[in-house]
Structure 1
């Protein structure tokens, strides 16, 4: 998923719902929804301040330990995902061609609402501003999905969401493994199973193929492949190896 641009205070839920619904229906041109570097409480654009980029890369002290750039980034990304995926999933409950897609996307919408609530609670405790609108890329995905019909609608919605979910899942795992902030660690630990559940629901629709998955992680020293036509001997139990074979 593309790196979101941080925004300021979130708008009221009703306003956000109206904006997302309008984007999905094509009533709001994409150019009218460009996110800005920061945003005032009333939604007015605020010019970026000098040093904002350096501040974004800094680590700050909190009651739960140091809060670094990756910690803040994953919380923002979870919020950013909710801003377009909830709207798409709710629309798919009505428009998807297949009942299985409608059921899966309906469950994802409900799960994302719970995840967004958790995300906003953690952000409030950390005094972390969250975005209040989809990124330009996300807006283009929403328009792309809305412009489809039949199985093409189902396939496009599932493909876009599965790609985004896979990237988010990987970042949650990396932050869960390495964060020094106990609150962020707890958040990632709770969020990752919810994203995993959503990926499973998307895969169960039958529309997830290899071309919609993110690239696998790079491995510096991968094990050699098996010889063609050959078969590797089963490995002994680790306890047997550790005990010297006795």
Structure 2
């Protein structure tokens, strides 16, 4: 049975979000962070406050920095209970092992997230998002190998989105603490992706569409492989 692709999120479909995030955008624009910092004046709107950049001992803390911290927190809030449930309900040992290990690693990631949030004064959510609740309900409603397939498909897509968000912040943040946090998160999430791919349930029909790009090379002509490219060191002076 073909596993359905992930359902739309509140802001955009998961595939569109992944495409945009991979191009350093995503549904929420990361933008260029200002570096002026400082407190907001009285009467500022909540929307303006959410987009503000404040000064910390580790450098300016922008909206993309704060969003990443809360995104990681929400991720562990739904992945930990799912991993623990999968330890009992998943049909295949490979799925049980992978999701149990993800839950274990997420517990440590949550410690790091809470520590980082406390240091930069970011309030953390206590509940997953509505979409994450919906994914959990969808997975829980399955049984047998359909449980495994759906759990791996939803987790793999969610991890891909988070991985792209982490990379965008890692590349652009002016805050050294958040940069360190993003680097550590990237290692954890990359490990999650490898664990999920090792279950055998990550197939083409469960993945989001690739991002739209420009400037890609055309495919090679015919069935012959291209001639080996010369070493880069032979091309530079």
TM over 0.5: same fold? yes
User: Match for residue 35 of structure 1?
Assistant: none
List gaps (5 residues or longer) in structure 2: 1-7, 12-42
Once the two structures are TM-superposed, the CA of residue 103 in structure 1 deviates from its matched residue by 0.7
Please state whether the residue corresponding to 1:61 is helix, strand or coil: strand
The answer as to 2:176 corresponding to 1:190 is: no
- Partners in 1 of 2:10 and 2:234 — Cα distance? 47
Cα pair distance change 1:206/1:99, threshold 3 Å:
same
Please state whether the residue corresponding to 1:66 is helix, strand or coil: strand
Report the number of matched residues: 199
- Pairing partner for 1:140 from 131, 134, 139: 134
User: Match for residue 76 of structure 1?
Assistant: 70
Cα pair distance change 1:50/1:214, threshold 3 Å:
farther
The answer as to 2:54 corresponding to 1:98 is: no
Please state whether the residue corresponding to 2:55 is helix, strand or coil: strand
Once the two structures are TM-superposed, the CA of residue 71 in structure 1 deviates from its matched residue by 0.7
Once the two structures are TM-superposed, the CA of residue 86 in structure 1 deviates from its matched residue by 0.6
Once the two structures are TM-superposed, the CA of residue 227 in structure 1 deviates from its matched residue by 1.2
Once the two structures are TM-superposed, the CA of residue 50 in structure 1 deviates from its matched residue by 7.3
The answer as to 2:48 corresponding to 1:54 is: yes
Q: TM-score scaled by structure 2?
A: 0.80
Deviations 1:111-162 (A, max 9, x none): 1111111011100101001110111111111111111100000111111100
Deviations 1:23-47 (A, max 9, x none): xxxxxxxxxxxxxxxxxxxxxxxxx
Kept after mapping to 2: 8 A contact 1:166/1:213? no
- Partners in 2 of 1:64 and 1:131 — Cα distance? 23
Once the two structures are TM-superposed, the CA of residue 232 in structure 1 deviates from its matched residue by 1.2
Kept after mapping to 2: 8 A contact 1:166/1:214? no
The answer as to 2:92 corresponding to 1:123 is: no
- Partners in 2 of 1:218 and 1:175 — Cα distance? 21
Q: TM-score scaled by structure 1?
A: 0.77
Deviations 1:14-71 (A, max 9, x none): xxxxxxxxxxxxxxxxxxxxxxxxxxxxxxxxxxx97111111111111111111111
- Higher RCO, 1 or 2 (CA under 8 Å, sep at least 6)? 2
- Partners in 1 of 2:146 and 2:190 — Cα distance? 24
Kept after mapping to 1: 8 A contact 2:10/2:131? no
- Pairing partner for 2:161 from 137, 156, 167: 167
Name the Cα RMSD after superposition: 1.8
User: Match for residue 11 of structure 1?
Assistant: none
- Partners in 2 of 1:62 and 1:225 — Cα distance? 48
